[in-house]
Amino acid sequence: MQILDGKKTAQDLKNEIQAEVSKMKAEGKREPHLAAVLVGNDGASLTYVGSKVRSCEQVGFQSTLVRLEDSISEEALLEEIAKLNADRSIDGYIVQLPLPKHINEERILMAVDPVKDVDGFHPSNFGKMALEMQAFIPATPFGIVELLKRYQIDIQGKECVVIGRSHIVGRPISILLSQKGEVGNATVTLTHSRSKNIEQLTRKADIVISALGIPEFLKADMVKDGAIVIDVGITRVPDETHPKGYRIKGDVDFENVAPKTSFITPVPGGVGPMTIAMLLKNTLLASQWR
């Protein structure tokens, strides 16, 4: 069993991005600039946005945090989005989800200029990705592909089962792994909450990608010997013995599954850090594609 070390790989990527930024500056170019829009005070969102901003600083990007009140109207948020679209000093930006219930998320995401959509959530980018055209690929599936690439894992012709069909993880990773390409050509089965007998599918799979958000859903008897397991899940489980009052759990029963696998991502330290690194990568691409 080998750990797919997302923390180390993400750091390698950040070092490469930092070197690229230094080169850009030496050539008299401006450093990439990422903005993040955060509406409200949700604890997890604050943590995620905070680490995105810190990561920007680490690689020499400029970053701007746009903090808005929970009570902001949809129209006022759309005005903020229009300002970010028009601001030539900003290469890319993200709108941290979830948004408050009174705001139509789809309407907001549709308003993001696709050339600044470094989350890759706009239909223009999603469509281009599906058609194998140049596009911003959502950071989490992009990070999984990069991790497989850097560990030189050949997935061609392999049976891959993805659990979860969300627009930001399950669906795009199922598209990417089935495409032609360096990390691709797998035979992909996409499963979800209405799928029957998931364990029968995962037991036959060479690769299992779990992105459903149920702690320790994937048990040892659900994977075959030598499988590659990618755990995307991040769930905060209450734990009074922990200083933060909670513990982060993945979708995989790591302790019992890991010994059976050939490669596995830990939680934390697997897909999570890769997601942030790929957001930085998308921002660098945004500044280069302009």
Residues that bind ligand NAP (CB under 6 A): 140, 163-166, 168-170, 191-195, 198, 211-214, 232-235, 271-272, 275
Q: Which is nearer to ligand NAP, 90 or 140 (CB)?
A: 140
Q: Which is nearer to ligand NAP, 90 or 170 (CB)?
A: 170
Pull the structure tokens for residue 185.
């050509």
Is the Cα torsion angle 185, 198, 150, 137 positive or negative in sign?
positive
Alpha-carbon distance 70 to 68, whole Å?
Answer: 7
**CB of residue 43 to ligand NAP, shortest distance in Å:** 13
Selected catalytic residue, list 91, 96, 253, 281: 96
**CB of residue 86 to ligand NAP, shortest distance in Å:** 29
**CB of residue 29 to ligand NAP, shortest distance in Å:** 30
Beta-ladder partners of 158: none
User: Sheet of 2-3: strands edge to edge?
Assistant: 2-3, 263-264, 228-231, 207-210, 159-163, 187-191
Q: Which is nearer to ligand NAP, 45 or 235 (CB)?
A: 235
Cα-only R_g, the chain: 19
Q: Could you tell me the CA-to-CA distances from 2 to 64, 77, 117, 153, 228 in Å, in that order?
A: 38, 45, 34, 12, 9
Helical packing angle, 6-26 and 271-289, nearest 10° = 20
**CB of residue 103 to ligand NAP, shortest distance in Å:** 17
**CB of residue 10 to ligand NAP, shortest distance in Å:** 11
Q: Which is nearer to ligand NAP, 90 or 169 (CB)?
A: 169
Selected catalytic residue, list 52, 116, 249, 281: 52
Pull the structure tokens for residue 184.
């691709």
Q: Is 256 helix (H, G, I), strand (E, B) or coil?
A: helix
- Our answer to whether residue 156 is catalytic in this structure is no
- Our answer to whether residue 96 is catalytic in this structure is yes
Selected catalytic residue, list 117, 119, 251, 253: 119
Q: Which is nearer to ligand NAP, 87 or 105 (CB)?
A: 105
- Our answer to whether residue 11 is catalytic in this structure is no
Which residues participate in catalysis according to the annotation?
Answer: 52, 96, 119
